[in-house]
Structure 1
Amino acid sequence: MKKLFKFIGILLLLLIVAGGIYYFANNESLPEGKKGKEADALAIKMLNALDGDAFDKTEILKWSFRNEHFYTWNKQENIVHISWAQYKVTLYTKQPEKSELYIDGKISNNPELIKQAQNFFNNDSFWLVAPYKIFDSGTERSIVKHKNKDALLITYTSGGSTPGDSYLWILDDNYLPTSFKMWTSIIPIGGVSATWSDLKSTKSGIKLPTKHTLSLFGLEIDMGDVRAYNEKADELADKILKAINHKAYKNTRFIEWSFGEKRHFKWDKEKHIVDVSWDTIRVNLHPRNKEYSTVFFNEKLQEKADSIIVKKAWNIFNNDSFWLVAPHKLFENGILRSIQKVDDKDALLVKYTTGGSTPGDSYLWTFDSNYIPKSYKMFVPSMKMNGTPATWENWITTESGTLLPTNHKFSNGRNLSMGTVKGYN
């Protein structure tokens, strides 16, 4: 028996020595940073890289934490549905006293379990959305040099479950976070790092991590099937499409219109080939394969299509078709939809992240009681538009059954006619 106790004592001593060696070899002191405008500017660059504006508008996030805790977060309503083991909690993040607990499907009363759910959410949501919260109340931002590059140190002075923790965000050349270092009350070793590089682009436009790998023994945190989307915005967009008979639009083969009586179009939508004409020029434009396009001067075919003329026709078509069919394109790839209030009513904010001539533009749609668009505000940085309004009016039902606008008006009184609009098969 004495030999056994002696062996256990030696083993414990070795573990303590090994732990001490590991601690002194890996422990890092909290770096000192410089607060102020430069730190805030770096934080804004990181937020912009992740699309912080899209995060603010995101309605629903879903994820899990190490396949143990499961979440559906209705962010705009400040409600989180949390489940683990046999427990389910509907947590009201702003009013925890309203939260509800279910055990094996039956409503129960146990404040300690609700508090546990709140702690789970504070911890597990951090591993999902921490970079989006760097300007929350109770945060301090500092710039720290890390490997001769600027890194962002965030210190939580209040809020959450463990105020006082600090995190040093390491950024790539595009200001996206790739990893962070931690100084927390939970982990005794300072400077433990974790990856933030397995990012997923979500439907709401934000980038979320799917897993993390820690420097501490290579531990991995799996975030499960990460999702973020805007359910109410999509429902609103669906109502608009039904109002303008988008189903008929999809089946429409030919669309004809003009733009201010200066440019004229005949679009074979099925083949995606369009005749674009202005002045004495007509371009038979193949938008997907511009090299197949042909150019006519005074209806005489040019042996070799002028690439500059073709590019001009492509730009004209992108712009002028937008003024005719933009409401029919609400669900195309590269489009983010979110809800914004206008005069206390829901309006649809549409942001184009790819495609067209000027990706990055946004349009805020308002509509009548039947969900037919009646106006929008334009946010087009390249044209210095910041909420420029225009109407969408005089909608007609075409021969093919879809609805298209024939006129627009601007706040300066200018009128933009779409000419004789036709849609047929």
Structure 2
Amino acid sequence: MKKFFKFLGIIIILIIGFGIVYYFINNEALPKGKKGKEAEALANKMFDAINHKAYEKTEVLEWSFRGINSYKWYKQENKVEVSWDENKVILYTKNPQKSKSFVNGNSVDDKQLIQKATNYFYNDSFWLVAPYKIFDSGTERSIVNYEGKEALLVTYTSGGSTPGDSYLWILDENHFPTSFKMWTSIIPIGGVSATWSDWKKTEAGIQLPKKHKLSLFGLEISMGNVKAYNPKANDLADKILQAIKHKNYKNTKFIEWSFGGRRSFKWNKEKHIVDVSWDKFMVNLYPADIEKSTVYFEGSKQEDTDEKVVKRAWDIFNNDSFWLVAPHKLYDDGVVRTIENIENETALRVTYTSGGTTPGDSYVWLLDENYVPKSYKMYLKNGRMNGTPATWQDWITTESGTLLPTNHTFANGGELSMGEVKGYN
């Protein structure tokens, strides 16, 4: 027995010794950063890179933490469903006294359970959305030179469950976070790093991490099946599509229209081939396979296709068709839908994150009492328009049974006619 305790003592001493050595080798002092305009500018670049505007509008986030704690966060309502083991807590983050706790589905009055859920939420949500919290109340930002590059040091002086913690964000060339180094009360070693590189682009237009890998013994934190979406915005979009008979639009085979009397179109929508005509040109355009397109000049087919003319036709079609069918494109790939309040009316903001000729543009749709679009405000990425309004008026029901607009009016009184609009099969 004495030999056993002697052996156990040696093991304990070795573990302690290893821990001390590991601490002195890996512990890093908190770097000193410089506060001020440069730090704020770097933080704003990071904020723009992660699309914080979409995060602010996000309605629901879902994730789990290490496969143990599960969450459904109704962010706009400041309400979270926290679940672990046989426990579930409906947590109201801004009004804790309203919180409710359940065990095996039965309601219980357990304040300790609610506090435990609160602590879980603060910790586990930080691992999900920390990049979006760099401007939270009680934060300080400073700029640090880290390995020859600018890094952002964020210190939480208040709030959350561990005020006083600091995080050094390492950014890529686009100011997108790839990792951070931590100085926290819960981890005794300073400078432990964690990756922020395994991202998932969500329906709400924001990116969320699927997992993190720590430098501390290679530990990995899984965030489960992360989701972010906007059900209220989707519900409003669905009402718009129903109002404009979108199902009939999907089945429409041919659409014809003109644009301000300057250009005309005949679109074989079923095969996605369109005749684009302007001046003396007509292009038989294949938007999805542009090399198959052919060019006609004064009615004669060009033997050598002019690529510039084809590109011109492609640009024209993308622009001019948008003014005809944009309300039918609310669920296109790369589209983010969010709720807006404009002039005391509930409106739908649609942001195009990819596709078309100007990804990044957004449009806020104002609706009539039947959810038919009556106008939109335009916000173009290039800055040329920042809330510029245009009407969507004189809707017709086409032969194919869908609704399409025939005219638009701008704030300066200018008008844009879509000509004789047809939709048929």
- Within 5 Å, give how 1:108-257 maps onto structure 2: 108-257=108-257
Counterpart residue identity of residue 310, structure 1? V
Deviates more, 1:160-169 or 1:36-45: 36-45
Q: 1:383 to 1:277 in 2, by over 3 A?
A: farther
The DSSP-based 3-state class of the residue aligned with 1:112 is: helix
The DSSP-based 3-state class of the residue aligned with 1:14 is: helix
Counterpart residue identity of residue 5, structure 1? F
- Within 5 Å, give how 1:377-388 maps onto structure 2: 377-382=377-382, 384-388=384-388
The DSSP-based 3-state class of the residue aligned with 2:168 is: strand
Residue in 2 aligned with 1:44?
44
- Within 5 Å, give how 1:393-412 maps onto structure 2: 393-412=393-412
Q: 1:110 to 1:170 in 2, by over 3 A?
A: same
The DSSP-based 3-state class of the residue aligned with 2:275 is: strand
Instruction: Measure how far apart 1:383 and its partner are.
Output: 5.8
Residue in 2 aligned with 1:270?
270
Cα separation, 2, equivalents of 1:245 and 1:234: 16
The DSSP-based 3-state class of the residue aligned with 1:132 is: helix
Cα separation, 2, equivalents of 1:300 and 1:214: 66
Instruction: Measure how far apart 1:12 and its partner are.
Output: 2.1
Cα separation, 1, equivalents of 2:303 and 2:26: 71
Instruction: Measure how far apart 1:4 and its partner are.
Output: 3.4
Instruction: Measure how far apart 1:281 and its partner are.
Output: 1.5
Cα separation, 2, equivalents of 1:69 and 1:307: 56
Instruction: Measure how far apart 1:197 and its partner are.
Output: 0.8
Instruction: Measure how far apart 1:143 and its partner are.
Output: 0.8
Residue in 2 aligned with 1:76?
76
Residue in 2 aligned with 1:346?
346
Instruction: Measure how far apart 1:185 and its partner are.
Output: 0.5
Instruction: Measure how far apart 1:309 and its partner are.
Output: 1.1
TM-score when scaled to structure 1? 0.98
Instruction: Measure how far apart 1:5 and its partner are.
Output: 3.3
Residue in 2 aligned with 1:23?
23
Cα separation, 2, equivalents of 1:266 and 1:239: 29
Counterpart residue identity of residue 339, structure 1? I
Counterpart residue identity of residue 16, structure 1? I
Residue in 2 aligned with 1:32?
32
Counterpart residue identity of residue 106, structure 1? N
Residue in 2 aligned with 1:57?
57
Q: RMSD over aligned Cα, in angstroms?
A: 1.0
Question: Could you list the runs of 5+ residues in structure 1 that have no partner in the other structure?
Answer: none
The DSSP-based 3-state class of the residue aligned with 1:73 is: strand
Counterpart residue identity of residue 353, structure 1? T
Cα separation, 1, equivalents of 2:49 and 2:114: 35
Q: 1:136 to 1:84 in 2, by over 3 A?
A: same
Instruction: Measure how far apart 1:299 and its partner are.
Output: 1.1
Instruction: Measure how far apart 1:47 and its partner are.
Output: 1.6
Residue in 2 aligned with 1:389?
389
Provide the identity percentage.
Answer: 67
The DSSP-based 3-state class of the residue aligned with 1:382 is: coil
Cα separation, 2, equivalents of 1:100 and 1:87: 11
Instruction: Measure how far apart 1:302 and its partner are.
Output: 1.6
Instruction: Measure how far apart 1:345 and its partner are.
Output: 2.5
The DSSP-based 3-state class of the residue aligned with 1:381 is: coil
**Could you report, residue by residue, the CA deviation over 1:137-164 in whole angstroms, capped at 9, with x for unpaired residues?**
0111111111111111110000000000
Cα separation, 2, equivalents of 1:317 and 1:141: 47
Whether 1:319 aligns to 2:319 is: yes
Residue in 2 aligned with 1:424?
424
**Could you report, residue by residue, the CA deviation over 1:192-240 in whole angstroms, capped at 9, with x for unpaired residues?**
1111111111111111111111111111111111111111111111110
Cα separation, 1, equivalents of 2:62 and 2:275: 46
Residue in 2 aligned with 1:259?
259
Cα separation, 1, equivalents of 2:383 and 2:36: 32
Counterpart residue identity of residue 5, structure 2? F
Instruction: Measure how far apart 1:21 and its partner are.
Output: 0.8
Counterpart residue identity of residue 202, structure 1? T
Instruction: Measure how far apart 1:308 and its partner are.
Output: 1.0
Instruction: Measure how far apart 1:334 and its partner are.
Output: 1.1
Instruction: Measure how far apart 1:174 and its partner are.
Output: 1.6
Cα separation, 2, equivalents of 1:420 and 1:147: 63
Instruction: Measure how far apart 1:11 and its partner are.
Output: 2.5
TM-score when scaled to structure 2? 0.98
